[in-house]
Each structure stands twice: as C-alpha cells, then as structure tokens.
Amino acid sequence: MREFAGKVAVITGAASGIGRGLAEWCVRAGVSVVLADIEEVSLDRTGADLKAMGGTVLCARTDVSKRGDVESLARRAFDAFGNVHLLFNNAGVAAGGAPWEATWNDWEWVIGVNLWGAIYGVKVFAPLMLAQNTECHIVNTASAAGLSAGGFSAPYSVTKHAVVALSESLYLTLQQRGTLVKVSVLCPGLVRTNIANAERNRPPELRNEPAPLTPKMQAGRAALEALVASSMPPSQVAEIVFEAIRKEQFYILTHPDWTEVIRLRTSRLLAMENPENPAAEVMKLLNQPM
C-alpha cells in the first residue's frame, strides 16, 4: 500500500502512546480513523484533538481482551465507513515479574490484552478485510522483548513472543494464498508511552492486593519512568511503521540497539549457548552501567 488518503484505519490502544502517534499520522495523511481504547476519558480527548486537526474520527470504547468488544468494534467501523484498510492491533499492558512471582491476575490480564487482543483483532477483522478484495494491511504490535530472551516481566515477554508467532503465521498463510492483505509485526524498544502506568486500566476483578513499595521498588520505577521519558517519541515510531507498510516489510524494528541484541540472541541460539539478560546487553551497547 503506497497511497493512504481516503483509507480507513482501526487502531486499538489509540488514546495514548504509539496508538495515538499512529492516529495522528493517519489524520495528517487523510486517513479516516476508528479509535479504540479502554480509557474512555483519554479516548474522547484524543478524538476531539484529532477532529480539531481536521480528521474524520470515530471513537469506540473497547476492551480488547473481550471478544464481544472487538466484534462490536468491527461492526461500528464497517457501519460508519463501509471498509477497513488498515488494522493496528496495538493495545498492550505490562505487569508481573518472574514467572512464579507474577500473580494469577497478572498473567490473566496481560495475556488477555496483549495476546487475546491481537488474536481477536486478527480473527474478527481478517475475514472482513479479505472479503473487500482490495489492498489492506494489518500491523500487530509486539516488542523487541518478543524477539529477545527474558525481560523484566514474564507475562509481557511471553505474550510478545506469541504475538510475533501469530503475525508470522498470518503473514505466511496470506502470502501462500496470494491475497491483497499484508501483515507486519512492530517490535519497538523503549517508546515514550504510558505503559509504565498501565495499572490505571486494570479491571477491578484482576487487581492484586495492595503491597507497600520498598525503596528499591520506588527507585526502579523512577529509573524506568526516566528512561521512558527520554525514549523515542510515538510520532517517530509512526513514521517508521508507515514507511514499512509502503515497502510491505514484515519485521519493523525501530531501535538499532535492540536490533543488535536480537542478533546476539539468535547467534547464541544457533550455537546452543545459554541465554543472557537482554537489558544488560543493551546497557553494554550503550556503555551504561546496570
């Protein structure tokens, strides 16, 4: 897909971060956008901002972990615009730590949003996009954590690896069938988003029992927030994504430092060497202490 004006895009996790960056790019390019997010106040604010930019916008509060919500999102999008040409399965959260320390609620919430959200998006929208018999593109947001070993959160890492596998399967199947629907998987490093504050959107029934923050935990959170604040802006990610769509490029790797980590991980795998901490490798490449 090389021309975007007049197309229709559906974006989940659209009220902030990468989702909002993609939506703003769409509006500037003349793409009508369907904004989906669970955070209603931020969703309405984003919708108003994009309309003020001259965009054609539909806001749809959506919990992507619920199949019915994604089915409703598709109905609203097609009822409003008749077609969907671009689908960004972008909504994501992070929680939990080591595999045995992450709570059952952590696992259920992160898998529900990150993995089931992408599965529902593909399962619901792909047949509808195929039936249009026109150029379409699906972008699933994974992470550099989906192509590297370990990570700060086992649930997050597991789901992002799974989203990469889902996307590869989708890509190969559509390619074999010669369809007009193309696929990419977005694997960014640190981006200036609100994912460090994802707890604000955790459903009440999946919240953990309150636990006191230790000084070490507070320091770690402060360090993460500082890193995120100085990281790549969503607008830059959006530019990279749409350039990849133009090229029909499957893997979208936005951060050169993580690209090297992925290469090292692949080399170790082929040599049957044991995995190493990807965060430590990134810091080595950046010449920063852990």
8 A C-beta contact, residue 91 and residue 36: yes
User: Scanning the structure block, which residue is given the tokens 């795998």?
Assistant: 269
The arrangement of strands across the sheet holding 32-37 comes to: 57-61, 32-37, 8-12, 86-89, 136-141, 181-187, 251-253
8 A C-beta contact, residue 136 and residue 129: yes
8 A C-beta contact, residue 39 and residue 93: no
Helix ranges restricted to H, the chain = 17-28, 40-52, 67-81, 104-110, 117-132, 154-176, 215-229, 234-247, 256-270, 278-286
- The Cα–Cα gap between 134 and 289 comes to 50
**DSSP 8-class letter at 276:** -
CA dihedral 289, 276, 228, 26 (to 10 degrees): 140
Both structure tokens of 263: 């290469």
8 A C-beta contact, residue 189 and residue 232: yes
* 251 is annotated as an active-site residue: no
Both structure tokens of 55: 């965009």
Q: Which residues are catalytic?
A: 156
